[in-house]
Structure 1
Amino acid sequence: MKDYAKKFYKSTAWRKCRASYFAYRHGLCERCTGPGKIVHHKKYITLENIDDPIITLSFSNLELLCQDCHNREHHERNSPVVEGVMFDSNGDLIQVGGN
């Protein structure tokens, strides 16, 4: 998590929004229908938009994801594909096979 976002993610507004969105989506991942875990911002939070509630607190910018789908969103889509590299259930980089 970026330093500038820590205060936002600890805020009462975010915690209430997250809980409400989680209930709204019945706790299911919107991509695979498995158990949801992370309320993800479709348009990523940046230093420039963190004070914009349309970005940070609007249901239209949120998506409930399981850990695997969230990892794919952030790692597979936004990172170069490297053979022999995978992510564990916490989203941490692990080496598979190789050296």
Structure 2
Amino acid sequence: MAKQWAKSFYNSDAWKVTRLQFLVDHAFTCEMCGGHAEEVHHEVELTPENIHDPAVTLNPMLLHALCGDCHKLVTKRQKNMRRPDCDPGFAFDTDGNLSPRGV
């Protein structure tokens, strides 16, 4: 389900044409499992800051043809990667050691 700030983009003719052409170019084949692709995934997560940048939103180099199951899996992985590894007051240094932030 598209976020409110992204709905106008996903309903735009530019996205609909790009999406369909991308799926046609990839023979409606999922890039992960080889199944039937019906979704196009943005490699760069869309945000309110980049939603109007066609170099991000319409760039075929940043798109992936996926089936519904693989799209859910990729999206879940991306969300899990955004979670912090540790308490916000700490960070890993260049040697991989956990240290208080700002030290």
| TM-score calculated relative to the size of structure 1 | 0.76
Partner of 1:56: 57
Partner of 2:43: 42
Partner of 2:19: 18
- Give me the whole-angstrom Cα distance separating, in 2, the residues matched to 1:76 and 1:45: 16
Percentage of pairs with the same residue? 38
- Give me the whole-angstrom Cα distance separating, in 1, the residues matched to 2:76 and 2:56: 21
Give the partner amino acid of 2:27. Answer: H
RMSD: 1.4
Listed as ranges, the gaps of 5+ residues in structure 1 are 81-99
Displacement of 1:47: 0.3
Listed as ranges, the gaps of 5+ residues in structure 2 are 82-103
Displacement of 1:37: 1.2
- Give me the whole-angstrom Cα distance separating, in 2, the residues matched to 1:20 and 1:10: 16
Deviations 1:66-96 (A, max 9, x none): 011111111244249xxxxxxxxxxxxxxxx
Displacement of 1:6: 0.1
Task: Select the structure of larger CA radius of gyration.
Answer: 2
